[in-house]
Structure 1
Amino acid sequence: MTFAWLSFIAEVVIIGTGGAVRLTGSGLGCSEWPLCTPESLVPTQELGIHGLIEFGNRTMTGVVGILALVVLALTLVHLRARRQLVTVGWFALGGIALAVLTLVVTSSFVAAVSAALLAVIAAAIVTIRRVPARRDLLVLAWLVLIGIVAQGLVGGITVLTGLNPFIVGFHYASSVVLVTLTAAYLVRAYDVPGPRERAVPAWFAILTHVTTLVLAATIAFGVLTTGNGPHSGDRNVIRTGFDATVLAHVHSWPGYILLGLGVILTVAAAMLRLRPLRWLVVLLAVIAVQVVVGVIQARNGLPELLVGIHMVLAALSAAAFTVVVLRLKRPAGHVERPAGR
């Protein structure tokens, strides 16, 4: 569980470092990918602080990748599927060989990483089919690893396209998804395995899922708003052409609705003593702080530090809500004390 927690923390941290890249205008601190410059893998002295910030974020990709690989390996060991570790090793060697061959033939790093990504996906399909026990954990572990490899590819495309704001936004949204996946792994790892049954009234589950859509809309409009604001990652990057002031107001609408729904769910869970209560309280607290930070930053010209905090809090909101959704069910036949007792 230690490495699962480290994986979750690292996914949150890389959102912070990615935000630092954008907010300090270091998006093109390294002009190339996967090299930093045409001649160097690491930033040179001429690139200054921007090169260090951008390269630091790239380094974090390696950290989260190693942690995800360790979590996957330990999951296979825990499930007594050590033979599949050998399978994963062969696929890894095959993926590396395929990536090198693709690079030699096409001279394209994007094509090479894409080939490696296909090898990772193939390895996931093979091992998941061969290991019937706790497939929920295995699927989540593989999804995180696949997502990280894909994120590395998207990050490279982001640099090669000169920080296209839509790709930058997708890069951030994908990072939030990885945070939710690592959070889901932690929840399922602590849960009793086996069939699950609904632990809340049907109307409560429906309202929770509606709130999921509102949260997704809030994050999506936040990404679009940031893409048109002053923090595009580089002062020469052209925004998407939307009015950032209007978008800021549009972004706030689902945000306030999300806060209202959070209050309703929390009050209902407290009155009925439902399973998700504790995490609804956590979620409501994070959303409330998020709203306050959003209002302050909007009224003070979007200071970099507050924007960065806003980005990280959005990921933490998504993680907390992931726990809430998973707490809508419980292991079948498992008797729990009502929440709050």
Structure 2
Amino acid sequence: MTLAQTAPRSAHRPDRVGRPLRILAWASFVAEVVIIGTGGAVRLTGSGLGCTEWPLCTPDSLVPLQAQGIHGLIEFGNRLMTGVVGIIALAVLLLTIAAFAGRRLVTRALWFAAGGIVLGVGAYVVANPVGLGAFGFSSALLLAVLAAMVDSVRRTERRRDLIVLAWIVLAGVMAQAVVGGLAVVSDLNAFVVGFHYTASLLLVCVTAAYLVRLAAVPGPRERAVPSWFAMLAHVTTLALAATILFGVLTTSNGPHSGDEDVIRNGFDATFLAHVHAWPGYILAALVAVLTVLAWARRLPVRRWLLVLVAAVAVQIVVGVWQAREGLPELLVGIHMVLASLSAAAMTVVILNLKAPIGVLSAPSTDDASTVVS
């Protein structure tokens, strides 16, 4: 008798969660994608220094003044979007803790937050004389969030995966705000700006992973595809990561520096554009092979691979188009957003390489019964 035959019927069902959590989880994913678009708009319109200070926009004002013009409004709008993303991430976290760990742990998390604010005020007082008050406050609050995450995970027995993912998103948004401030005070250092985008893309992947796990049956998981297929999928992930990495380097050294007075003197952007294309074509070939094999063997990831095929195909078309047209701002922005959607689709494919024990009625191969917790 197999595990699928002995598993109770209730073990084949995902946890029931309230509609508000599901809606907010989707809102968190959408918001992370949108902020990549607004961040791209800041850079592509030359508004990276539209607000010359952080967290204030000017030395004397939180909001942009008339002298900042449209660039100040665009930069400040992206900062406001960071606040929206953070509020949604916090709501998802608190609802997740309440649903799977109880209100007592919600209260503990809020106490950690209060302690972090007190610690942040102290750090601000110490660091402000050297002009780092805002960074001191943010760093102290981030440390409190990390401490609260460890405490919540240690005290939780159900759905630790969801709680960890929700904490990562909140901590990531807070860290992103600090990195954004560093980008401003460093006069749009190419590596800081590139890291800022990469971290945003990773948060898109984490929110996508949360959605997948929220809809999944909890518990130990078994491989749902042959081992060779799983290995090929992970190689494809590496090709995607390489494509994105070289894309970030290319854009960082291209004409869209974020401000007309910032001149890049790093890598050769023309050469990097060709290097960026090579792993991109390898990625397209690997995704095509995976999709054909998945449909030929009727593997459970086949429909999500179609989504990945569409995302990568459109991404390649836009990439070639923008290169031939001299990198127009709109196409570069679309290319940036599509990269995050491609990464999110790849994340969903990888997570669906395994399924909860007992859900698969018949493994695709003999080695598909290998149990992985």
Say yes or no: TM over 0.5. Answer: yes
Name 1:147's counterpart in structure 2.
172
Residues 114-168 of structure 1 show CA distances to partners (whole Å, capped at 9, x for unaligned) of 1111000000000110011100000000000110111011001010100000000
Aligned-pair CA distance for 1:322: 0.4
Alignment-mate amino acid for residue 148 of structure 1: V
Q: Residues 311 and 337 (structure 1 numbering): CA distance in 2 closer, same or farther, change over 3 Å?
A: farther
| 1:64 paired to 2:88 | no
Shift of 1:53: 0.2
CA distance in structure 2 between the partners assigned to 1:194 and 1:306 by the alignment: 43
CA deviations on 1:21-48 (whole Å, 9 max, x unpaired) are 0000000000000000000000001100
- Structure 2 residue 28 is matched with structure 1 residue 7: yes
Q: Does residue 273 of the first structure (1) align with residue 294 of the second (2)? A: no
Kindly provide the CA deviation profile for residues 178-233 of structure 1, in whole angstroms up to 9, marking residues without a partner as x.
00000000000000111100000000000100111110110000000001111010
Alignment of 1:137-286 (within 5 A): 137-286=162-311
Tell me which amino acid in the other structure corresponds to 1:194. G
Quote the Cα distance in structure 2 between the aligned partners of 1:190 and 1:106.
44
Which residue of 100, 104, 112 corresponds with 1:79? Answer: 100
Query: 2-side partners of 1:284 and 1:337: how far apart?
Result: 27
Aligned mate of 2:354, from 318, 329, 332: 329
Contact residue 224 and residue 363 of structure 2 kept, 8 A: no
**Any conservation in 2 of the 1:165–1:240 contact (CA below 8 Å)?**
no
Structure 1 runs, 4 residues or longer, greater than 4 Å off: 336-339
Partner of 1:21: 42
Which aligned pairs between 1:17-166 and structure 2 lie closer than 5 A?
17-107=38-128, 108=132, 109-166=134-191
Cα displacement (A) at 1:335: 2.6
| Structure 1 residue 336, shift from structure 2 partner | 5.1
Letter in 2 for 1:279: W
Query: Is the 8 Å Cα contact of residues 20 and 308 (structure 1) preserved in structure 2?
Result: yes
Q: Distance in 2 between the 1:80 and 1:216 partners?
A: 35
Larger-gyration structure (1/2): 2
Greater mean deviation of Cα atoms: 235-244 or 167-176: 235-244
Q: 1-side partners of 2:326 and 2:153: how far apart?
A: 49
Within 1, Cα distance between the matches of 2:151 and 2:360?
Answer: 36
Which amino acid is the alignment partner of residue 9 of structure 1?
V
Amino acid at match of 1:268: L
1:338 Cα offset (Å)? 9.5
How far apart, in 2, do the equivalents of 1:61 and 1:6 lie?
13
Unaligned 5+ segments in structure 2 are 1-21, 365-373
For residue 319 of structure 1, what is the aligned residue in structure 2? 344
| Structure 1: stretches of 5+ with no match in the other structure | none
What one-letter code is carried by the residue in structure 2 that aligns with 1:90? W
Count of aligned residue pairs for this structure pair: 339
Over the residues paired in the alignment, what is the CA RMSD in angstroms?
Answer: 1.1
Q: In structure 1, how many angstroms separate the alpha carbons of the residues matched to 2:60 and 2:253?
A: 33
SS of 2:259 mapped into structure 1: coil
* Distance (Å, rounded) in 1 between the aligned partners of 2:252 and 2:60: 31
Using structure 2 for the length normalisation, give the TM-score: 0.90
Tell me the TM-score normalized by structure 1: 0.98
CA contact (8 A) 2:224 2:360 kept: no
Task: State the AA in 2 paired with 1:188.
Answer: R
**Residue 322 of structure 2 corresponds to which residue in structure 1?**
297
Q: Judge conservation of contact 2:48–2:259 (CA < 8 Å) in 1.
A: yes
Distance 1:320-1:216 versus aligned 2 partners, 3 A rule: same
Assess if the C-alpha contact under 8 Å between 1:275 and 1:338 holds in 2. Answer: no
Shift of residue 239, structure 1, vs aligned partner: 1.5
Using a 3 Å threshold, how does the CA distance of structure 1 residues 288 and 53 change in structure 2: closer, same or farther? same
SS at match of 2:63: coil
3-state SS of paired residue (2:355): strand
Distance 1:149 1:336, change over 3 A: farther
Query: Identity of aligned pairs, percent?
Result: 66
Q: Please say which of residues 152-161 and 109-118 is displaced more in the overlay.
A: 109-118
Secondary structure at the aligned position of 2:323 is classed as: helix
Are the counterparts in 2 of residues 227 and 240 from structure 1 also a CA contact under 8 Å? Answer: no
Q: Which moved more, 1:100-109 or 1:48-57?
A: 100-109
8 Å Cα contact 2:153-2:164 kept in structure 1: yes
